Amino acid sequence: MAKRGGFPGGMGMPGNMNNLMKQAQRMQRQMEEGQKELETKEFTAKAGGGAVEVTVSGKKEILNVKLSEEAVDPDDIETLQDMIIAATNEALKLAEEANNELMGKMTGGLGGGFPF
């Protein structure tokens, strides 16, 4: 006895659903490739008029910290600490903005998130 209902055309997915799945898989691959590329990029920010420079990766890991001699004042450690924090936060913000830009390009402004 033949079972009625389900998708027309047999056991496979209908054409539109199949195309949608292929597009989703392609978008996922593109996002993964974009993420890998982003992870190799470096983002640098300065604070204190350039006295402190911090570089982070797209993975949001600190790669380098440069301090000018005038930034290192043994009588004012707090200012140096503040400049390092400011430069690090700015570099991380740049990395995050690049990530958000990538995600915007990949989703094409679809809105909402995909679970992948």
Confidence at residue 74, expressed as pLDDT on a 0 to 100 scale: 92
Confidence at residue 12, expressed as pLDDT on a 0 to 100 scale: 55
CB atoms within 10 A of CB 52: 25
What SS3 class is residue 26? helix
Q: In the Cβ-directed half-sphere of 13, how many Cα atoms lie within 13 Å? A: 8
Confidence at residue 114, expressed as pLDDT on a 0 to 100 scale: 52
Residue range 54-68: mean pLDDT, rounded: 94
Q: Are 46 and 83 in contact (CB under 8 A)?
A: no
Among the listed residues 98, 116, 87, 106, the one whose alpha carbon sits nearest the alpha carbon of residue 30:
106
Is 8's pLDDT higher than 80? no
Is 5's pLDDT higher than 80? no
Confidence at residue 82, expressed as pLDDT on a 0 to 100 scale: 96
Considering only residues 115 and 100, tell me which one the structure prediction assigns the higher pLDDT. Answer: 100
Confidence at residue 20, expressed as pLDDT on a 0 to 100 scale: 86
Is 7's pLDDT higher than 80? no
Residue range 27-45: mean pLDDT, rounded: 87
Residue range 91-101: mean pLDDT, rounded: 92
Which tokens hold the place of 22? 């292929």
Which tokens hold the place of 20? 């949608």
